[in-house]
Amino acid sequence: MKELQDIARLSDRFISVELVDESLFDWNVKLHQVDKDSVLWQDMKETNTEFILLNLTFPDNFPFSPPFMRVLSPRLENGYVLDGGAICMELLTPRGWSSAYTVEAVMRQFAASLVKGQKYYILIVQNSWSIRMCKVENEVLQDSTCQRTHAWHPLGAGCVLCDACHED
């Protein structure tokens, strides 16, 4: 996958990628940099958090459909990161997605959104979300405003509201 090669060539160590079970469709991504003037950066320093670990799961028709992205660790509170680590951003919805987006661009946008006008707190517990916990927590979110507004499905399987929410 060209995306993986492009990320390996990044010189600024912004992100690093590890394949999950050697699958090109399942990545663990370490976000090493956020705005150093942000509250989140200060919290990361205070809790000795070196990076934010995310999981990206790509659909078979990527780049024509967005990946599902969630925060695995640390547990963040507030903003675009929902309970269970799921991320609610227009960019990651069928309506907001463009096949021209790269993983690097998505990660840079996510990093910017983490600190823009939001106060994030790293929970001192420092527990990461297990995949099972993420799925259980996200089942509760299926009726969320985010989903109803943006046709977002927390498990990345398509909208549970069928085609109704995709109609304009």
- Residues serving a catalytic function are 88
In this structure, what token pair is assigned to residue 150? 């943006």
- One-letter amino acid at 65 equals S
Number of residues that this document lists for the chain: 168
Sign of CA dihedral 43, 29, 68, 131: negative
Helix, strand or coil, per DSSP, at residue 24: strand
- Residue 36, judged by CB atoms within 10 A of its CB (0-12, 13-18, 19+), counts as exposed
Who contacts 161 (Cβ-Cβ below 8 Å, separation ≥6)?
Answer: 147, 148, 151
Rounded Cα–Cα distance for residues 135 and 30 (Å)? 21
